[in-house]
Amino acid sequence: MNQQFFTSKQKPVLLQVTPKGIGGEGNVYSVVVDDNEVPLVAKIYHTKELEREATNQQQGKPTREAKIRHLIRFQTQLSPNCSAIFPEETLYNAQGDFVGFLMREAPGDTDLSSLCSLKLFAGLPSQWHQKYDRYEGAGVADFAQLCQKIAQVFAQIHQTEELVLVDVKPENIHVSFQGEVSLIDIDSVQVVNKNEVLFPANKLTPEYCPPEYQDLHFKQDFIPQTWDRFALGVIFYKLLLGLHPYTGSCYPPYDELTTNAQKIAEGLFPHGAQKEYFSIIPHPHQSFNKMPEELRALFYRCFEEGHQKPDARPQATEWEQAFGQVAHHEYAGMVRVAPQVLTKVEPNNATTPVQAVKESRVALWGFFSAAVMLLFFLSIIFKNIAGEAPVYAADYEYYKQYFPGDYQVAHPIVEGRRLVLNYGKYGFLNSKNEVVIPLQYDYADDFKEGVACVAKNGKYGFIDEQGKVVIPLQYDGAAFFFNGKAQIEIITPKGRKYLLIDRDGKPVTHKYDYIGDFYYGRAVVRTGDLIGFIDENGHEIISLKYIYAHNFDETGVALVGDKLKKHYINKAGGHVRNYIPPKH
């Protein structure tokens, strides 16, 4: 059974039941019958967001519906080939309530986060890995060309001086293999008129926010375009070098800073005036010094001069021009090579080379306890016999696994363990920053209820705080434990199925096509087009007989419906009252 909604002109729109994409504010659905020249999709807001919409309307505050209508009109000011995905038409349910909007489908299904690390996302097709190869000059040049196209899109948006994107991050930028760029989540932007906020932004991501994020309330205060300019610099740095520009470990008084957002607030750019505070600067940063001068100058303006003077940050048009002027061969010096040393910056500004260790077969066969230097020299001999360079990228990654230092990602300590990521592998440190669970997993989550979800070779399971596997890595997906239950995913001949397991790994529910979060003791479950509810023990309390259902609220009721009508039920599934559509 498809979902039916209506445009403002009462034109019916049929949507798939299963979302194409799931977001924090709403889900995106494919349009079933689409006779438009450009394929359309629909964003339908979550119930909580729509309830907030009703509250804003009652209080006379700006509403989402008004904002979407404004953006629909606004896009006529932009070039017809603008790559930002603006709303095309508002959507309403059968009772006339605003629920979301139609928009063009982004041409690329890959978001930019898949390209922003040293190693591309493993799930990308091989052609992507060949094109965006950091070990080849042409690959670095392709990254730069992609940056130029992103700058073009931002330049189009900023030229009107009426929009500030605010939540600029790789996940909101979609790309195709041919290099087409699309900006999504436009409905979350800030809309202004002569520095007066007409509609505030809806969300942000701290690690892409400038220092003034600490002082401005993004849902109330006017946010200037210089905010977006900072985020744009962060994204370009990550694309070109494969890591966040503020990644590094610091000496006191900054040694307790664990997030990039904290380092941004303090202006701790590893190539800037406060470089002396860094105890370890990860090797990939070295490519910055081999970057074309035009681009280095813009990054300095963005992160150094722009720390105190936001207006100094380069505009999108400046980035676009700079990337257009640099010839492809000028990126050759930035080609990623295996590090010979890890630069450790001493307090007196001297540098000490720390030799990398080869992950050779000898090490894997049990000689890990041998001295680090001995392993290093053995690796040189082994690789020289083979006629190859003595140190490769794997050397550095192996070194990083067993010698605590700086990490690409370091989470706060949770249940006595700190989740860290380096070069595509996850592991855990203790409170003394000692490695207690080696960086060996392709995915890991923080510890919750004494266990952590981990994955290797595409299979998920759980480990305890000592790294012992307590639930085998046998699932196709998994989430953290909550109240003794965890949701896992299994791929079957009939598609993806979901169920809950207990701490022993035993199933406590049937297999469903969908299991939602628990709200006041109940969670929505779906098989096919039929929806029901389970309790926190996994029991199917309310059978699957509805085609429409909201989560339970604090009063213990939920709105459900079938093909004929909607009504409210209690937690046992009993009828509470009929649904009365609001009057307009």
489-522 pLDDT tens trace: 999 888 889 999 999 999 999 999 888 878 889 9
Whose structure tokens read 């993004």? Answer: 218
pLDDT of residue 456: 92
CA 252 – CA 72 distance, rounded (Å): 51
Mean pLDDT of 20-29: 84
pLDDT of residue 403: 40
Helices then strands, counting H and E runs in the chain, come out as 12, 36
Tell me the pLDDT band of 583, cut-offs 50, 70 and 90. Answer: low
Question: pLDDT of 558-570, one tens digit each?
Answer: 999 887 888 999 9
Structure tokens at 564: 């004929």
pLDDT of residue 342 exceeding 80, the answer is no
CA 423 – CA 407 distance, rounded (Å): 9
DSSP code string of 186-209: GGGSEEEETTEEEE------GGGS
pLDDT of residue 3: 84
pLDDT of residue 302 exceeding 70, the answer is yes
pLDDT of residue 387: 37
Structure tokens at 365: 């066969």
CA 185 – CA 165 distance, rounded (Å): 9
Tell me the pLDDT band of 36, cut-offs 50, 70 and 90. Answer: low
CA 215 – CA 3 distance, rounded (Å): 43
pLDDT of residue 343 exceeding 60, the answer is no
CA 422 – CA 117 distance, rounded (Å): 10
Tell me the pLDDT band of 60, cut-offs 50, 70 and 90. Answer: confident
Higher pLDDT, 68 or 38: 68
pLDDT of residue 203: 86
pLDDT of residue 473: 96
pLDDT of residue 367: 39
Tell me the pLDDT band of 2, cut-offs 50, 70 and 90. Answer: confident
Percent of the chain with pLDDT over 90: 47
pLDDT of residue 584: 44
CA 8 – CA 13 distance, rounded (Å): 11
Identical fold at 110-334 and 407-511? no
Q: 32-41, 214-223, 301-310, 457-466 — which is least confidently predicted?
A: 32-41
Class (C level, CATH) for 407-511: mainly beta
pLDDT of residue 373 exceeding 60, the answer is no
Report angle CA 27, 181, 306 to the nearest 5 degrees.
Answer: 100
pLDDT of residue 547 exceeding 80, the answer is yes
Classify residue 302 by its DSSP letter.
I
360 three-state secondary structure: coil
pLDDT of residue 318: 96
Q: 107-111, 171-175, 251-255, 494-498 — which is least confidently predicted?
A: 107-111
Question: pLDDT of 76-86, one tens digit each?
Answer: 777 767 788 99
Does 110-334 carry CATH code 3.20.20.140? no
Contact criterion met (CB below 8 Å) for 373 and 355: yes
Mean pLDDT of 95-115: 87
Question: pLDDT of 305-328, one tens digit each?
Answer: 999 999 999 999 999 999 999 988
Question: pLDDT of 244-291, one tens digit each?
Answer: 999 988 999 998 888 899 999 999 999 999 999 998 888 889 899 999
pLDDT of residue 340: 39
CA 363 – CA 372 distance, rounded (Å): 10
Tell me the pLDDT band of 168, cut-offs 50, 70 and 90. Answer: very high
Alpha carbon of residue 170 to chain centroid:
7
Question: pLDDT of 514-536, one tens digit each?
Answer: 888 788 899 999 998 899 999 98
For 3-104, CATH number out of 3.30.450.40, 3.30.70.270, 3.30.200.20, 3.30.300.130 equals 3.30.200.20
What does pLDDT average to over the chain?
83
pLDDT of residue 378: 44
One-letter-per-residue 3-state SS of 213-239: HHCCCCCCCCCCCHHHHHHHHHHHHHH
**Comparing C-alpha atoms, which of 199, 206, 201, 232 is closest to residue 218?**
201
Domain boundaries, the chain: 3-104, 110-334, 341-402, 407-511, 516-584
Helix H or strand E encompassing 532: strand 530-535
The 3-state DSSP composition of the chain as helix, strand, coil percent (nearest 5) reads: 30, 30, 40
pLDDT of residue 37: 62
User: How does strand 21-22 pair with strand 87-92?
Assistant: unpaired
Tell me the pLDDT band of 357, cut-offs 50, 70 and 90. Answer: very low
Contact criterion met (CB below 8 Å) for 424 and 387: no
Mean pLDDT of 176-205: 90
